[in-house]
Chains A and B, each alone.
Chain A
Amino acid sequence: MRNNVGKYAATIAWPSLVTALILVAWELSVRALGIRSIILPPPSAVFETMAQRHDLLFAHLWPSLYLTVLGFVLSVIGGIVVAVLITYSAIVRKGFYPVIVVSQVIPKISIAPLFIVWFGTGTMSSLLLAFLVAFFPMTINAAMGFESIDEDIHRMARTFMGSRWQIFWKIRMPNALPYIFGGMKISITLAIIGVIVSEFVASQEGIGYLIKLAGGLLDTPLMLAAIVALSISGLALYAIIAAAESWAVYWQPPPEAVGVGGG
């Protein structure tokens, strides 16, 4: 147990140390070289802006996070439903699944302006873009989870006269859980990107809008403050999913390294 704690502390300590070193180097070099704040403010100025203008940051952060989470939840539900169809319907598996896979060559972000044309500059466009980018990894991961059943387990359930319904709920679903969480970790990061890009293109609120606005005003400290706030929020959402995973997928030994901030 103690050894585990030590290991965990080590995985946290080293990256923290490196981060601190980078921040110090940044702070010192900006001061020493006399770089103007418009080009690159020192970290201290960024944190100061965050503290001073937290009302403004939060006011724009909440709508973005709300849309991110909503788009993410919809993509999880949609992805699982489509994965079930892929698993059980030959028509969906053979006809639609390849189309869904091939359609992924379209950089979905490039559709953002089209969504603005169709759904206006409001929240609808952001939500749909978040859903669209987050949906695919959810679908593939869940479908893989439902299908990667050991043939012997399937046979075993059949010898005990398990119905399709029972096999789905008692075997396929728990079996797919680790895959579903894997998909969720990718989807949440993509959902954030979807919302921000949509806000870049056209909107009147949201953290993406604030970043763009600050850029236009050459308020670089505010821009960086918004980026940092967004990153911290993204990390928090990811951590929530990782925590839910280790609770729900209790039967798998915890991974060696705690991989926070992937995707």
Chain B
Amino acid sequence: MRSAVASPPPGLAPGRARDDGAAIVRIAALKKTFGDLEAIRQMSFDVADGEFLSVLGPSGCGKSTLLMMIAGLIDPTAGEIRIQDAKVAGPRREVGVVFQSPVLLPWRTVLQNVLFPIELLKLPRAQYRRRAMDLLRMAKIDEYAGLLPRQLSGGMRQRVAVCRALVHDPSILLMDEPFSALDAITRDEMAVELQRIWQVNRKTVIFVTHSIREAAFLSDRVVVMGRRPATIIDELAIDLPRPRHIAVTEDQTFNRLVRHLRKAIEASHAE
């Protein structure tokens, strides 16, 4: 039903992978069924190295399933995912994941939580301790390094989770609706923070969300997933200059983009 989708707003290029940098993640003819339930019908797209890509779609459309397959936690039914030209057959070192909830270990301090991947991957702890502290400083939570998770607010905990996902210096960061449990104000704040962190680190980010504004604000490109069984119903490049301030969301261009994405999703609902 691509025809039902409005054409991209004037002055903006139609969405496609950025030309600079080769594709680091390639998703080809991906399909996933759970028993009789067809979650993802057919899906192919590339993600460029250093790109911030959002996967936007309604709740329960299979976005998280897609992300879990990229993370190597679930196997696809058909098709394949390649990361840096290697087929994904399980969790990989060059990937870091941020989940919907912070999933911190309550018995570990903030710093120990951030260093948890280092222990699991058996990397030199002393060496990465500095990196962990740098990340905490970048996320503006270094003063809480010695506290336990229960002493932090929801937004702080999710910042810790982002630091943890980055500590082993992965080239790809997967984020599964990481801010969905936060209040609206904290959410906006986290989006600005995430952009800042991304601009420093320049990881490839695949960001799953059901928030149109969040996708438009953060991304270089947005792919829109339709309802189950999911396919990609639209793709849009977001060519707004960076760094973007929260004020950009009041911009005309920004709102044109948001309208375009909303129409794409509404069109999929109308089917």
Contact = CB atoms under 8 A, between A and B. Distances in A.
A251 B107 CA distance: 5
Nearest to A248: B107
Interface stretch (B77-85, B98-106, B233-241, B251-259): B98-106
A193 to B, nearest CB: 33
Contacts of B25: none
Interface in A127-184: 150, 152-153, 155-163, 166, 170-171, 174, 177
B73 A155 contact: yes
Contact of B99 (A155, A161, A252, A253): A155
Interface in B88-133: 91-93, 95-97, 99-101, 103, 105-107, 116-117, 119-121
Contacts of A156: 97, 99, 103
A159 B105 contact: no
Contact of B101 (A152, A161, A166, A174): A152
From DSSP, what is the main secondary structure of chain A's interface residues? helix
Nearest to B118: A160
A249 to B, nearest CB: 8
Contacts of B106: 251-252
B120 A166 contact: yes
A170 B91 contact: no
A253 B151 CA distance: 10
Given A156-B99, A251-B148, A161 B107 contact: no
B121 A160 contact: yes
B119 A159 contact: no
Nearest to A174: B107
Contact of A162 (B93, B120, B150): B120
Contacts, number: 54
Contacts of A171: 105
Contacts of A157: 120
Nearest to A150: B103
B71 interface: yes
Interface of B: 68, 71-73, 91-93, 95-97, 99-101, 103, 105-107, 116-117, 119-121, 148, 150, 168
B95 A159 contact: yes
Nearest to A166: B120
Contact of A152 (B99, B116, B148): B99
Interface of A: 150, 152-153, 155-163, 166, 170-171, 174, 177, 250-253
Nearest to B98: A156
A170 to B, nearest CB: 7
A160 B99 contact: no
Given A166-B120, A251-B150, A159 B103 contact: no
A166 B106 CA distance: 17
Contact of B105 (A158, A174, A177, A252): A174
Contacts of A162: 120
Nearest to A250: B107
Contact of A159 (B97, B100, B107, B148): B97
Contacts of B168: 160
Given A251-B148, A251-B150, A160 B116 contact: yes
18 contacts: A150-B103, A152-B99, A155-B99, A155-B103, A159-B72, A159-B96, A160-B91, A160-B120, A160-B121, A166-B119, A166-B120, A170-B105, A170-B116, A170-B119, A170-B120, A177-B107, A251-B107, A251-B148
A170 B72 CA distance: 22
B124 to A, nearest CB: 16
Given A156-B103, A160-B120, 9 more contacts: A152-B101, A153-B105, A155-B73, A158-B73, A158-B91, A160-B91, A161-B120, A174-B107, A250-B107
B150 A253 contact: yes
A152 B119 contact: no
B177 to A, nearest CB: 12
Contacts of B101: 152
10 closest residue pairs by CB, A with B: A160-B117, A162-B120, A251-B107, A160-B120, A159-B97, A152-B103, A156-B103, A174-B107, A251-B106, A159-B91
